Amino acid sequence: MSEVFDLFIIGGGINGAGIARDAAGRNLKVCLADKGEFGGATSSWSTKLIHGGLRYLENYEFKLVRESLKEREVIYNIARGITKPIPFIIPYTKNLRPKWLIKIGLFLYDSLGGKTSIPKSSTINLSNKFPNILKKEFNEGFQYYDLQVDDKKLTKLNIKDAIENNAKVLENTKVINIEQTSDHWKIFLENNKTIKSKILINASGPWINETLKNIIKINSNKKIRLVKGSHIITNKIYDEEIAFTLQNFDNRIIFVIPYKEKFSLIGTTEIEVNSPEKNGIDVSEIKYLIDCVNGYFKKQISSKDIVDTYSGIRPLIEDFNEATKVTRDYIFDLNIHNNLPLLSIYGGKLTTYRKLSENVLNRLSKYLPKNSIKSWTDKKKLI
Ligand SMILES: Cc1cc2nc3c(=O)[nH]c(=O)nc-3n(C[C@H](O)[C@H](O)[C@H](O)COP(=O)(O)OP(=O)(O)OC[C@H]3O[C@@H](n4cnc5c(N)ncnc54)[C@H](O)[C@@H]3O)c2cc1C
């Protein structure tokens, strides 16, 4: 008789990879398949930050910010080789957020996550410290720190560790159909192979509802919005190893971050789209990002300075807010179909993938072998 896995995971983005690593380290029999490259979709189209999400405080998402800040510390400790603290400067802008609001936000940002080795925030005199970068009206500002990460490598390191703990992982292998038998899920792969598993995890990111509907053939009871976020990469706008958190006229935040020594990474936008398939950047998004940068910096850029662009799709849980305010938190949808558990993961951030993975296994604990329940990923380094 062929092997029956404890868990089968659809999707080798950061969430699928994190779950595979955690589960394999608990001696569970794990199989994961991705239709493309591991970490090749949303998980490499991000702003590449491990961050608490300062701006989520405005939406009163204290729980999400606290968990993210705690995870920022954990990820910094377990993944030193691919993370780096970097100062972010918020130039003070008279007609936008008042100083007292930014100060309260930064005070909470410094305190919510508990003890941290990442430097705290401060006020900064921009005309003294960085006289040549910003236009002269931006002479005051605030500085706080977050981590820059190699997002694709973070996924790959999780996959590597899962393999070392005996997980079976299949790259460029699409799941095309899934059936239920009396005691296992039967998973049909594009390469004509089938896999059996007791538990099924749908970690297919923006494809989540498509996977449910077309492959598992179950209707989702959660609505999502697909929101495209685009970045432009330009020749670097300034030499200093600092990033900027720019407040745009529409109250959205645009990041300008040093990228691979010679470049600046600028993003992001928010545009609702209909499909999770690859969507390129629109001309209007390029203009939006360039206009924001040119509003602040002495050096003016144009589309000629762009060396590359990329766009990722966020699957945000529908709660009828405007896209900026829709939560970046994750939720699980656990359903039992004829005694077979199916867990779907909605939303999330790179930052919280490890905690999310731990929570997935805690949530499934009553369906797992008794000796497999201990958490372990917060200390073991990703090498
Ligand atoms: C523009 C943007 C910026 C972001 N910036 C940040 C940031 O700076 N910091 C942060 O913490 N978070 C950020 N995020 C959020 C973060 O990137 C995502 O939460 C995270 O990458 C989601 O990972 P995932 O594993 O759920 O999805 P994905 O990485 O999309 O993985 C899903 C995988 O499922 C696979 N798949 C789909 N269907 C099938 C199938 N039938 N068979 C096999 N495989 C299948 C896909 O190929 C894909 O690889 C950002 C998101 C976006 C869009």
**Residue 170 sits in the same domain as residue 312:** no
Neighbours of 363 (CB within 10 A): 13
Give the CA dihedral 287, 291, 293, 294, nearest 10 degrees: 130
Question: For residue 61, which of 263, 317, 232, 277 has the smallest C-alpha distance?
Answer: 317
Ligand 1: which atom is nearest the Cα of residue 314? 53
Q: Which atom of ligand 1 is nearest to the CA of 311?
A: 1
Shared domain for 218 and 231, answered yes or no, is no
Distance 230 CA to ligand 1 centre (A): 14
> What is the structure's pLDDT at 25?
95
Q: Residue ranges of the chain with pLDDT lower than 50?
A: none
Q: Which of the listed residues 185, 207, 255, 346 should we mutate to test ligand 1's pocket, taking the one with most ligand atoms within 8 A of CB?
A: 207
Residue with tokens 């510390």: 73
Q: What is the CA radius of gyration of the chain?
A: 22
**Probe ligand 1: pick from 152, 194, 204, 273, max atoms within 8 Å of CB?**
204
Inter-residue contact 12 to 152 (CB < 8 Å) = no
CB atoms within 10 A of CB 92: 19
172 and 302 housed in the same domain: no
Please report, for the domain that includes residue 211, its CATH number: 3.50.50.60
Residues 239 and 297 both lie in one domain:
yes
Q: Which two tokens stand for residue 113?
A: 């996550």
237 and 333 in a common domain: no
Residue 58 contacts residue 105 (beta carbons within 8 Å): yes
Whose C-alpha lies nearest to ligand 1, atom 52? Answer: 46
Residue 102 CA, ligand 1 centroid: distance in Å: 30
Contacts of 164 (CB under 8 A, 6+ apart): none
Q: Which atom of ligand 1 is nearest to the CA of 211?
A: 41
Residues 201 and 230 in one domain: no
What is the CA(20)–ligand 1 centre distance, in A?
15
List residues near ligand 1 (CB under 6 A): 10-16, 33-36, 40-43, 45-49, 51, 174-175, 203-207, 211, 215, 229, 268, 312-314, 348-351
Query: Are 234 and 319 found together in one domain?
Result: yes
Q: Measured between alpha carbons, how far is 323 from 303 in angstroms, rounded to an integer?
A: 26
Smallest CA separation from ligand 1 atom 3, residue: 46
Amino acid present at 69: L
Give the Cα separation of 20 and 308 in Å (integer). 32
The pLDDT of residue 372:
67
Domain that holds residue 17: 4-42+152-222+328-372
pLDDT for 322: 57
pTM score: 0.96
The best mutation among 71, 185, 349, 354 to test binding of ligand 1, ranked by most ligand atoms within 8 Å of the C-beta, falls on 349
Characterize the bridge pairing of strands 4-10 and 140-149. Answer: unpaired
Same domain? For 109 and 215 the reply is no
Is 162 within the bounds of a domain?
A: yes
Cα-to-centroid distance, 349 and ligand 1 (Å): 8
Would 116 be classed as within a structural domain?
yes
Judgement on whether residues 243 and 313 belong to the same structural domain of the protein: yes
State the pLDDT at residue 1. 62
pLDDT value of residue 220: 84
- Structurally, the chain folds into a number of domains equal to 2
| CATH number for the domain that contains residue 303 | 3.30.9.10
Domain check: are 209 and 350 in the same one? yes
Is 53 within the bounds of a domain? no
272 and 298 housed in the same domain: yes
10 in a domain, yes or no? yes
The verdict on residue 203 lying in a domain is yes
CA atoms in the 13 A half-sphere facing the CB of 287 = 3
Residue at 51 is within a domain: no
CB within 8 Å of 57: residues ≥ 6 apart: 65, 105, 108, 109
Question: Residue 44 Cα, ligand 1 centroid: separation in angstroms?
Answer: 7
Would you say residue 380 lies in a domain? no
In the structure encoding, which two tokens stand for residue 229, read together?
């976020």
- Same domain (yes/no): 124, 183: no
Q: Which atom of ligand 1 is nearest to the CA of 267?
A: 1
Nearest CA to ligand 1 atom 25: 13
- Separation of first and last alpha carbons in the chain: 36
